[in-house]
C-alpha cells in the first residue's frame, strides 16, 4: 500500500473530520477510532475531543503541527480482494505501529477506483501535551513493518506492495531526471484544468482548498500557508506551476472562522485546566 502524510499547521479539526466522514461515500460507513468516545458520525463531539486533547499542549512553537491527514492507499487491481474485515485489521495494525498514544479518526473511501483509508491523527499524544510527531527514520520503519505485515497476512494483495527499503533498478542521473520530468509534465497537464476551474469558483482561500479536496487533491503547507497540491501518487506541485501565482492565492479572502473559533475554544479549555489544577492544589493544602 502507499502511505502519505499531509501535515496541518492550523487547528482545522472539524473540516478534516467532516471531509473524512462525509466523503467516504459508503452506504454503510467504515469508520475507525482510537482514544475517542464520541460516535463515529458525531462531527461536533469528535471535534471537541480533538480540541480538548490539543488544550493539554505543553510546549508552543510558531511552526507547531496540530494534526496530520494520513492516507493508506491500495492498488486498484486489488480492489476485488479487499474486504471490510481486511481494512479493519490493517487500520488496527497501522495504529499500533504509528503509536497507540495518539488520537485517531479514520474512514474508508471508495470514491475512486481503489480503496483508501483516511485518518485524522492528532499532533499530540492523548492528554499528555507531548508531541505525537513521527520522524523520518521511524516513518520509514513503519512503512517497512506495515508492508511486511500485509505481505505475510494478505499475500493476495500483490499489486499493493511498494518496495520500501529495497534496491531499485539503476538509472543514470540523466535518465532519472528525464523520467521524472516527463511524468510530472503529464500529471501537471492533467491537473491544471481542474485546479484553475476550482480557483475560479472559490470565494475564499479555504473554499478553494475544499474544492480541491472534493476533486481528490490535498494541499501541502509551509509555515501554515498552502503552497501547492499533492497528486494521488504523492508528487508535489506548486500552485505557481499550475497557473496560480502567490499573489492570486493571497488575493482570495481569508476565511479563518473555523481556525479562530478553534483557537478560542482551545484557550478556554486550557484556562479550565489551570483553574481545576489550582483548585485541587488549594484543597490539598
Q: For the whole prediction, is pTM greater than 0.85?
A: no
pLDDT number for residue 221: 85
Domains in the chain with CATH codes: 1-168 (3.30.930.30), 172-266 (no CATH)
259 within 8 A of 10, measured Cβ to Cβ: yes
Distance (Å, whole) CA 118 – CA 72: 7
C-alpha cell at 8: 496541518
pLDDT number for residue 243: 85
pLDDT number for residue 168: 47
Distance (Å, whole) CA 17 – CA 6: 14
Strands (E), 25-178: 31-34, 67-73, 104-109, 116-122
Q: Locate all alpha helices (DSSP H) within 130-202, ordered by sequence.
A: 136-153, 173-201
In order along its 285 residues, the chain shows pLDDT tens digits of: 777 788 888 888 988 898 888 765 556 789 999 999 999 999 999 999 999 999 999 888 877 889 998 989 888 888 889 999 999 999 999 999 999 999 999 999 886 677 889 999 999 999 999 999 999 899 999 999 999 999 999 999 988 876 555 544 444 556 655 665 666 666 666 678 778 878 888 888 888 888 888 777 888 888 778 899 887 666 788 898 888 988 888 888 877 677 778 888 999 999 988 877 777 666 666
The count of residues in the chain is 285
Query: CA Rg, the chain, in Å?
Result: 20
pLDDT number for residue 36: 97
Distance (Å, whole) CA 46 – CA 40: 8
The 10 Å CB-count burial string (b at 16+, else e) for 9-39 is: bbbbbbbbbbbbbeebeeeeebbbbbbbebe
* Residue 131 CB contacts under 8 Å (≥ 6 apart), including other chains: 123, 124, 125
C-alpha cell at 178: 528525464
pLDDT number for residue 123: 96
C-alpha cell at 134: 513521527
Amino acid at each position: 500500500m502507499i502511505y502519505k502524510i499531509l501535515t496541518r499547521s492550523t487547528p482545522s479539526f472539524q473540516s478534516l473530520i467532516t471531509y473524512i466522514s462525509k466523503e467516504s461515500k459508503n452506504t454503510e460507513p467504515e469508520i475507525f477510532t482510537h482514544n475517542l468516545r464520541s460516535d463515529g458520525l458525531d462531527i461536533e463531539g469528535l471535534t471537541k475531543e480533538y480540541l480538548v486533547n490539543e488544550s493539554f499542549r505543553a510546549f508552543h512553537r510558531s511552526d507547531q503541527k496540530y494534526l496530520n491527514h494520513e492516507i493508506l492507499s491500495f492498488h486498484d487491481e486489488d480492489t476485488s480482494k479487499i474486504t471490510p474485515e481486511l481494512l479493519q485489521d490493517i487500520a488496527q495494525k497501522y495504529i499500533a505501529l504509528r503509536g497507540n498514544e495518539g488520537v485517531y479518526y479514520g474512514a474508508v473511501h471508495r470514491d475512486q477506483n481503489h480503496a483508501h483509508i483516511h485518518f485524522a491523527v492528532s499532533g499530540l499524544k492523548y492528554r499528555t501535551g507531548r508531541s505525537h510527531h513521527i520522524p523520518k527514520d521511524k516513518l520509514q520503519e513503519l512503512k517497512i513493518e506495515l508492508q511486511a505485515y500485509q505481505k505475510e497476512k494478505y499475500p493476495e494483495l500483490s499489486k499493493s506492495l511498494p518496495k520500501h527499503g529495497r534496491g531499485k533498478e539503476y538509472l543514470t542521473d540523466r535518465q532519472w531526471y528525464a523520467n521524472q520530468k516527463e511524468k510530472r509534465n503529464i500529471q501537471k497537464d492533467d491537473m491544471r484544468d481542474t485546479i484553475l476551474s476550482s480557483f475560479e469558483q472559490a470565494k475564499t482561500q479555504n473554499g478553494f482548498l475544499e474544492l480541491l479536496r472534493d476533486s481528490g487533491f490535498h494541499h501541502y503547507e509551509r509555515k501554515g500557508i498552502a503552497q501547492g497540491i499533492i497528486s494521488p501518487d504523492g508528487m508535489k506541485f506548486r500552485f505557481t506551476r499550475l497557473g496560480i501565482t502567490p499573489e492570486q492565492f493571497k488575493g482570495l479572502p481569508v476565511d479563518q472562522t473555523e481556525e479562530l473559533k478553534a483557537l478560542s475554544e482551545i484557550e478556554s479549555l486550557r484556562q479550565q485546566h489551570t483553574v481545576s489544577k489550582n483548585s485541587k492544589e488549594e484543597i490539598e493544602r
